[in-house]
Amino acid sequence: MKKKNFVTLILSVVGGLLFALGMCMALLPEWDVRTEGIVVGVAGAAILLAMVLVRRKMDGKPMVVLNGKVIGTTLLGILGAIVLGVGMCMVMVWDMLIWGIVVGIVGIVLLLCLIPVVKGLK
């Protein structure tokens, strides 16, 4: 295994686990650790962001490239993740099963739209 793949693996696992645990801590009222969950989730997100920057540096690419496509792709990803998350909250927290599933499917479709945007159609 190459060094860059190993570093990416470690950082993405740690960041993903911290982010997921923080989400659980913040969203489950039974745990009563909302503030701590937000802190853990933000730490996980920061590690994931650092992983992307480290990976780009190890690949010899510039750290950040800002153009219209990158900004649009990022906004589409953020929108899709938020819509999917709202759908999950509607089902799990607000007890709105049918509408939550519909909103979640819309979020999944938005995230699936990232594939042709990033890879292109051939």
SS (H, E, C) 63-85: CCCCCHHHHHHHHHHHHHHHHHH
Half-sphere CA count of 70, side-chain side, radius 13 A? 5
pLDDT, residue 120, reads 84
Is 73 in the same domain as 121? yes
Q: Last residue of a domain, which of 64, 89, 114?
A: 64
The pTM (predicted TM-score) of the whole model is 0.67
Q: Kindly indicate the confidence band of residue 81, based on its pLDDT and cuts at 50, 70 and 90.
A: very high
Structural domain harbouring 92 = 65-122
101 and 75 in one domain? Answer: yes
* Summary mean pLDDT of the chain: 93
Residues 59 and 1 in one domain: yes
What total of structural domains would you count in the chain? 2
Q: Are residues 58 and 72 in the same domain?
A: no
CA-CA distance, 90 to 94, in Å (whole number)? Answer: 5
**Which residues have CB under 8 Å from 46's CB, separation 6+?**
15
User: 22 pLDDT band (50/70/90 cuts)?
Assistant: very high
pLDDT of residue 121: 81
Tens of pLDDT along 57-79? 998 888 888 899 989 999 999 99
Residues 56 and 1 in one domain: yes
Q: What is the pLDDT of residues 86-101, one digit of tens each?
A: 999 999 989 999 999 9
**Residues 74 and 23 both lie in one domain:** no
Range from 21-25, 43-47, 62-66 carrying the lowest mean pLDDT: 62-66
Same domain membership, residue 26 and residue 69? no
Q: Chain-centre distance of CA 59, in angstroms?
A: 22
